Amino acid sequence: MSAFYEGLAEIFEIEPAAVGPSLVLADHNWDSLAVVSTLALVDECFNCLVEGAALARCERVSDIEALIAAA
């Protein structure tokens, strides 16, 4: 999970230590570019694809993790 959190930190331009399951995505540039970047990150880190529309509806990192677990 640490590579995923580091990738999210890079996407959001924040410190990796600030990324965790409770991180609120709307508090950090959660826009269409971030969604596309996160789709690529999920594929790279977990070798799975999640639906872009479902990812865009996520509110917290834990929601993204739930999508990954269901994929």
The residues, ordered by sequence, that sit 6+ positions from 10 with a Cβ below 8 Å of its Cβ are none
- With helix as H, strand as E and coil as C, how does 41-64 read? HHHHHHCCCCCHHHHHCCCEHHHH
What range defines the domain where residue 48 resides? 2-70
Tally the residues of the chain.
71
The pTM of the full predicted model, rounded to 2 decimals, is 0.93
CB atoms < 10 A from the CB of 65, how many?
16
Note the pLDDT of residue 59. 98
pLDDT at position 8 is 97
pLDDT exceeds cutoff 90 at 1: no
CATH number at residue 15: 1.10.1200.10
pLDDT value of position 27: 96
pLDDT in tens, 12-70: 999 999 999 999 999 999 999 999 999 999 999 999 999 999 999 999 999 999 999 99
Which residue is listed with tokens 């999920």?
42
- Confidence (pLDDT) at 7: 97
What is the tally of structural domains in the chain? Answer: 1
